[in-house]
Amino acid sequence: MRGLAEYIMRGSKQATLVVAVTAAIPLLFWFSAAALALVILRRGLNDALSVVIWGILPALAWAAMGDLTPLLVILGSAALAVLLRQRSDWAVVVLAAVPLGGLFAVVLQTVLNEPLVALAAQIREMLPEMLAGMNGSLDEAGMAHLEALLVPVLAGLMGAVHTVMALVSLMIGRSWQARLYNPGGFREEFHTLRLSPWVAIALLVLTVLGPQWPALAILAPVASIPLLLAGLALMHGVVGIKRLGTVWLVALYAMFVFVAQFVYPLIMFLAFVDSLFDFRSRLRSPDGPAGS
């Protein structure tokens, strides 16, 4: 990847070619978003504007055919890259991802309303069986309230997925930038990502209690993203400080894939507790830097 990153940074023509071509190829929009983020992070939005325009054109074509994902991910990653270049603070970036994800969710709910309603109807038909399997039941009022939350929650989940893709693309672009110009810089940035206590409390409350109200249900899945990333940063930071090796991270992500319903809340909770106690500062040796 280093060679390709070097090619992207040779000039605007090379960057435009990579961004535009990968945006046009199915399932490579994330690469286009990462390449565009790299250009913005290094040169700024003004110098990268022509690359942005040419990268958006294929994404607009995909949107015209009904696939909004490339356009949302590329624009979202570019917007977050501008913010990261200005602030150089991942905590600010992941918090900015919450309103961005809310915007994604509203756009997707508006454009894909019929498919979301159809999916909600299918889930609604399965609700009695699902509740019976969990030895639970709801009265008519409770069932009506739950049904009213289905479409907003589904839209919020879709918005959260698109936001994660934009953030991952941004991280790839940042890692390329660090590899070319500041070796180890991205690793240090990510390992120190930590939310402030009040922010973590607000996000946790919104994630847990948001689904109780239709107006906030659409934001609840998106609000969990900063907690997730802060929790992953905590895990990476602890592994780096204690020099435990990458096998621990491989195990973490394997568990995340196979038992996400248990690992996701656990990582969020750890991020919340870390916002209060800052485990990494307690683990670091006062005599020198942490392990590489």
Which pLDDT value is given to residue 81?
A: 97
Tokens of 225: 């993203």
- Residue-wise pLDDT tens digits, 179-218: 999 998 999 999 999 999 999 999 999 999 988 887 789 9
Tokens of 100: 């961005």
Which pLDDT value is given to residue 270?
A: 95
Q: What is the mean pLDDT of residues 158-162?
A: 96
- Residue-wise pLDDT tens digits, 85-141: 999 999 999 999 999 999 999 999 999 999 998 988 888 887 767 666 555 556 566
Percent of the chain with pLDDT over 70: 92
- Residue whose tokens read 């069986």: 129
Helix %, strand %, coil % for the chain, to 5? Answer: 85, 0, 15
Tokens of 41: 């992070």
Helix and strand totals (H; E) in the chain: 15, 0
Q: How many CB atoms lie within 10 A of CB 187?
A: 15
Task: Put residue 88 in one of left, alpha, beta given phi > 0 → left and psi -120 to 50 → alpha.
Answer: left
Q: Which residues contact 25 (CB under 8 A, 6 or more apart)?
A: none
- Coil vs helix vs strand at 260: helix
Gap between the terminal Cα atoms of the chain: 22
- Residue-wise pLDDT tens digits, 251-274: 999 998 888 889 999 999 999 999
HSE at residue 42, side-chain half, CA atoms within 13 A, is 25
Which pLDDT value is given to residue 137?
A: 58
pTM value? 0.92
